[in-house]
Amino acid sequence: MSSMIRATALAVTACVLAAGPVIAAGWSRNYDDGTTQGLFEFDPALVMQGVDEFRVSVVNGSLRMGFANLPTAAPDNDSGLMLDPMQVLADTSGLMLIKWSTNPRFATTPTSSEMNAGWVLRLNTNTLSGYVFVIDDRGYLQIQKLLGGEVFDACPDSNVKLGLDPSKDWWLRAEVLNVAGGVQLRARAWVADTAEPVEWQATCLDTEPPLFAAGVASLVANEDSADIENWVDVDDTSAGPLPELICYNHADDDGDGLTDCADPDCAGAAACTCNDPFADIDRDGDVDQVDFGFWQLCYTATIAEQFDVGRCDCLDRDDTNTDGFFSPDLDGNNLIDSSDFDAFVQCFSGPTIAASKTCDD
């Protein structure tokens, strides 16, 4: 990616974006019409050197990204971008099918050329900054941070070798979302015609400023040798905003197989500060006299004191916004009273008897 990385290369894109990008609802491309359908080719090397190093075409309904006129001296890699200048997103999901099988070299022989393809999300074309998600022909899945044109590992353990078969086509999904304490970056890849895994094989919490708030969703291809066979086709590319994650509605909002507080993305959410069930105040698995003693402490405290005691806010169970769910930052009448006691009793199990996880649903 190092050749992608020159601030002076930004003049072309600055002109394209001068009118001011808008927040789009998402886009998808399958290239069946033989065009790139609105994607804009942005090749820093074209501006820097006056040479079209990054070549783009549509072959058999797939976007073919490849290179020509490669340099003969270090640095020996080249990169190119395809972006939608109107597609600016914050919490973003990007998905693409990387068709390694269309390249005869990848289809017949495992290679170490380090040809890769993937996404740059939250790309700021004025500063050449963003989050990079790529997987190469060796099966290395990487998350990187693009800062002023230079690429760095986003954080430890964000470079993972999956060892996928280079003769097969691979799906790549990348996501960026704002969470408590930073920006969550994650990616996974899997062989086409197999089930998408639930786990994120490469993850990273970016806590180091600058934290990128929004930007263009861009396709990227990178090549690391002068082999003329180094091109790759991609298909079925899509990017769009992630669905709103509600951490208390008993639903898998983001489709990762995890619901509410079982989803790491809900870490730090107000709804996840309470135990499950809420009445297990000492978190020992049952709801007994010990928990009732704490409930009494909240009940007998003055109104001003109740919410300084500790977990009294989790015991204030009034559904004040009438949405059928409970979250302590949205619900409660700031008073522990008889209606809250009724909810507590519904979860009472007795000592050493496991409390029902659904008693407070």
Task: Show the tokens assigned to 96.
Answer: 């693409």
- The predicted model scores a pTM of 0.71
Yes or no: domain 2-242 corresponds to CATH 2.60.120.560:
yes
pLDDT of residue 3: 40
Residue spans per domain, the chain: 2-242, 273-347
pLDDT digits (tens, 9 = 90+) for 48-61: 454 556 778 899 99
pLDDT confidence of residue 212: 93
Are the C-beta atoms of 79 and 54 separated by less than 8 Å? Answer: yes
pLDDT, tens only, 237-283: 999 888 777 888 888 877 777 888 888 777 777 888 888 888 888 88
Higher pLDDT, 80 or 109: 80
Measured from the Cβ of residue 57, the count of other Cβ atoms closer than 10 Å reads: 13
Contact 193, 199 (CB under 8 A): no
With contact defined as beta carbons under 8 Å apart, do 82 and 216 qualify?
no
Q: How far is CA 127 from CA 4, 124, 175, 176, 186, in A?
A: 12, 6, 21, 19, 23
Q: Which residues contact 241 (CB under 8 A, 6 or more apart)?
A: 25, 26, 89, 90, 91, 92, 93
At residue 301, the pLDDT reads 67
Sign of the Cα pseudo-torsion (47, 152, 148, 136, in order): positive
Question: Which of 245-252's residues contact partners 24+ apart within 8 Å by CB, and which partners?
Answer: 245/177, 247/271, 247/272, 247/327, 248/325, 248/326, 248/327, 249/325, 250/325, 250/361
- Quote the DSSP letter at residue 241: E
